[in-house]
Amino acid sequence: MIHSAHRRIVLEMLSLPTAPFVEGAVVAYLEAFCASRPGLKWERDRAGNVLVHLRRGRRRIQRPVCLTAHLDHPGFIAEEMTGPQRLRAIWRGGVRPEYFVGSRVRFHAEQRWIRGTVRSIKTYVENRIKRVSSAVIDVSAPVPAGAPGMWDFPDATITARHIRSRACDDLAGAAAMVCCMEEMTRRRLDGEAYFLFTRAEEVGFVGAIAASRAETIPQQCCVVAVETSSELPSAPIGAGPILRVGDKATVFHAGATAYCGAVATDLAASDRRFTFQRKLMDGGTCESSAYCQFGYEATGLCLALGNYHNMNQKRQRTAPEYVGLGDFASLVKWFVELARARRPYTGQDKDLLAKLARIEKQHRTVLRQTRTTPVY
């Protein structure tokens, strides 16, 4: 269902260690990938976010898209060893306290995994919600300060229907962007797009805020933030990637949303395997809301996610996250079409404007004739 090169990217990226502010392994992967592909220009902004620019062909795109995804996942950061096999670690991210004690974890240090078990946690209350701040962990070997920690699950796997990983959120979105770059360069497709990979989203869009203030994204871009969002009854895994019209906090830019929808509709007309959904995913807040507040014309795409933040709510224990394999394949196709920019972005819903104009023309005469004496 997906190209062998895309399969390799997924398995490699979704097996990397990451946590908020400790995304170095994923950043190194991105930089190595860009260095091996001609035509990809990349740079880090002052916050450590990675911006990649792809441009092929002679046609200049006045308003290219900027696809953006975050590189972190809820996780631990090793603080200090308090005994020969006891570690104190900071926790960053949204996982409920009842999932911690007794759960197995792993820390990545010196090119290897060091395993452990959560012994106890400290919590605090924020907005009437109890959150975890730190944990004491029994480990099999000393862990150096600053090492990222994750739940102890195997590396990423691909089955006939799903991609499973310690961290689909949001490495699956980031991997889909890398697959788009691979597809554009391997097939030598003309187009232009920017790809922004942000840091520390799980603690409040820290990287996206920094990128917005630094104007890392060119102002003329249509920004499309890519996420994984908890599966909803109305937005199931397997029904295609989702055009996310809004989140828990805001609705997104109407013109940018309409543009992504029009591109998807064009693609569905020519590719029977491509499907997509259009939904309000209000289970949480994503970077699109931040970009809109900073003046960008932004919208969102997402993949429906199982076991959001590694929480299996039916069994009340931690578990690998998963997304639909077909959803992922369609998301990559969608990205490629956005990068090819065969339908120009104008910032308006041109199809809706045309429909409104037709309706106006159809009823204009009657409207004028009855302006003083309405017909009942």
Q: Would you state the pLDDT for residue 352?
A: 83
Q: Would you state the pLDDT for residue 50?
A: 98
* pLDDT tops 80 at residue 372: no
Instruction: Give CB contacts under 8 A, 24+ apart, made by 7-13.
Output: 7/158, 9/33, 9/175, 9/178, 9/179, 9/182, 10/156, 10/158, 10/163, 10/172, 10/175, 10/179, 10/328, 11/155, 11/156, 11/157, 11/158, 13/156, 13/171, 13/174, 13/175, 13/178
* pLDDT tops 90 at residue 365: no
Q: Would you state the pLDDT for residue 369?
A: 81
Q: Mark 139-174 as b/e (b = at least 16 C-beta within 10 Å).
A: beeebeeebbbbbbbeebbbeeebbbbbbbbbbbbb
* pLDDT tops 80 at residue 375: no
Q: Please give the average per-residue pLDDT across 232-254, as a whole number.
A: 94
Q: Specify whether the CB–CB gap between 65 and 175 falls below 8 A.
A: no
Model confidence band, residue 8 (pLDDT cutoffs 50, 70, 90) = very high
Q: Specify whether the CB–CB gap between 251 and 293 falls below 8 A.
A: no
Per-residue pLDDT tens over the stretch 139-152: 999 999 999 999 99
Model confidence band, residue 226 (pLDDT cutoffs 50, 70, 90) = very high
- Sign for the CA dihedral angle at 347, 352, 357, 363 comes to negative
Q: Please give the average per-residue pLDDT across 290-309, as a whole number.
A: 96
41 - beta bridge partners? 53
Structure tokens at 12: 């490699």
* pLDDT tops 70 at residue 376: no
Model confidence band, residue 64 (pLDDT cutoffs 50, 70, 90) = very high
Lowest mean pLDDT among 102-106, 136-140, 342-346: 342-346
Q: Would you state the pLDDT for residue 368?
A: 83
More confident residue, 192 or 371: 192
Q: Would you state the pLDDT for residue 208?
A: 97
User: pTM for the whole thing?
Assistant: 0.93
Query: Which residues are CB-contacts of 354 (< 8 A; sequence separation ≥ 6)?
Result: none
Identity of the residue numbered 48: G
Task: Specify whether the backbone of 178 is left (phi greater than 0), alpha (psi in -120 to 50) or beta.
Answer: alpha
CATH numbers and ranges of domains, the chain: 4-73+155-350 (3.40.630.10), 75-151 (2.40.30.40)
Q: Would you state the pLDDT for residue 347?
A: 82
Structure tokens at 340: 């090819």
Q: Would you state the pLDDT for residue 307?
A: 97
